Amino acid sequence: MSPPRRSLYTKPFILAAVANFLFFANLNAYTLLPLYIHQLGGREGQIGMIMAMYSVAAILCQLGIGPLVDRLGRKPFIVLGAALVTAVSTVFLFSAQLGWHFYLLRFLQGLAFAGFTTSNLTLLADLAPASRRAEAVGVFGVSGLVTIALAPAIGEVLLRASGFRALFAGTVLLGAGTLAVCLATEVPRPMAIESPRPLGAGFWRGFTPVLLSSFQFGLANSVVFVFLPPFGRYAGLPRIAPFYIVYTVMAVAVRFLGGRLADQLERRQVILPSLIGLSVGILLFSTLRSTWMLVLIAFINGTAHGFVFPATSAMAFDRAPRGARGRALAIFNTAALAGATAGAVGFGWLAEFVGYRMGFVVLGLALAVGSGVFWRKR
């Protein structure tokens, strides 16, 4: 008789999910920041550079935070991330002129992301049964994923009603809520399963497909969420909120199915079609002229997201040494952030040079090539 399946819904899991929801509700509200930068006189290249500081900071900090998470535990860095987003949101609330401090604030948001997500993802790896890793990532990830729709949609309502000051005030409250939950949560410190060990050549060979998939996922997502607000206006769309809603509904629905599927099949068999789906969705942006097309693109990209993220995360869990989970998962996050940085900076300048539509064609083709490279790696 097989042993009963361990429950995913333990108290630490639920509290981590609540904190994750509040934290990403704060960060995803800043997908509307490009509109504020535009309002203050910024151009596409400047938007890309400011938004990319988030990813630059996260990349620089992830690899240093990973070993500390292994050594000091998860909670200090969860609390650090929550405190930083609260402080940054407070400064944005009182920022009425575009200046160097926008770069600094985005940098600090990236540092917050690095500390919070590395520690929270490592905690999830500690809690999830090995046979349910993709399912655990899929279910847990919904807590952050729903904020992709809720934060910008509610943010647009606040902007229309009361302007950016109301939006930033809302992010202050979300940050404070995150901090309160984190401080009140007793995060179990993992037992010393193994002493820390170096990540050798065998690790890097096995982790290469994880990094390729993570990089492409970050690249596609950053371009969509950084440049959709200004591109939507350029394309003459009255609202972009339908994209966030449909994208999130599909990604949430598919994550439950996608997580279980990636536990039953080989991870790569789920990841490859999903990466191809992302490339198709990006290519279709070059044809965007109506809300119906926006909804179709959201359907494709959201579905691809729902499959690729749990499967790639589970592959990372599988191939992360137990004594070095913090480091391995920091590297996994860094690959996604490197893709996000390349997308924000590279696509910003590409759009200025060849235009938005041709830029989406170039990016979509590049992602298709990357999907082929992923499949060739084991």
* 206 close to 127: Cβ distance less than 8 angstroms: no
pLDDT of residue 120: 80
Weakest mean pLDDT among 1-5, 241-245, 271-275, 303-307: 1-5
> Span 235-246, mean pLDDT?
84
User: Cα–chain-centroid distance for residue 102?
Assistant: 21
- List the chain domain ranges: 11-186+200-376
pLDDT of residue 273: 87
Q: How far apart are CA 274 and CA 248, in angstroms?
A: 16
DSSP class per residue in 269-329: HHHHHHHHHHHHHHHHGGG--SHHHHHHHHHHHHHHHHHHHHHHHHHHHHHS-GGGHHHHH
Residue 69: which pLDDT band, with cuts at 50, 70 and 90? Answer: confident
Distances (CA, A) of 235 to 83, 189, 190, 229, 279: 38, 50, 51, 10, 20
Predicted TM-score (pTM) of the model is 0.71
What is the longest distance spanned by two Cα atoms in the chain?
A: 67
Residue 71 tokens, joined:
């050594």
Per-residue pLDDT of 113-153, as tens digits, reads: 988 988 887 777 777 666 666 677 777 778 887 887 788 88
Per-residue pLDDT of 251-276, as tens digits, reads: 888 877 666 666 666 777 788 888 89
pLDDT of residue 169: 92
DSSP class per residue in 169-238: HHHHHHHHHHHHHHHH--PPPPP--S------HHHHHHHHHHHHHHHHHHHHHHHHHHHHHHHHHHTT-S
pLDDT, averaged across the chain: 82
Per-residue pLDDT of 271-326, as tens digits, reads: 888 889 999 999 999 988 888 999 999 999 999 988 888 788 878 877 766 666 67
Per-residue pLDDT of 95-111, as tens digits, reads: 878 888 899 999 999 99
Residue 251 tokens, joined:
């990604």
The third-level CATH classification (topology) of the domain covering 11-186+200-376 is Growth Hormone; Chain: A; (1.20.1250)
pLDDT of residue 296: 94
Per-residue pLDDT of 8-57, as tens digits, reads: 677 777 888 899 999 999 999 998 888 888 888 877 778 878 888 887 88
pLDDT of residue 1: 41
pLDDT of residue 29: 92
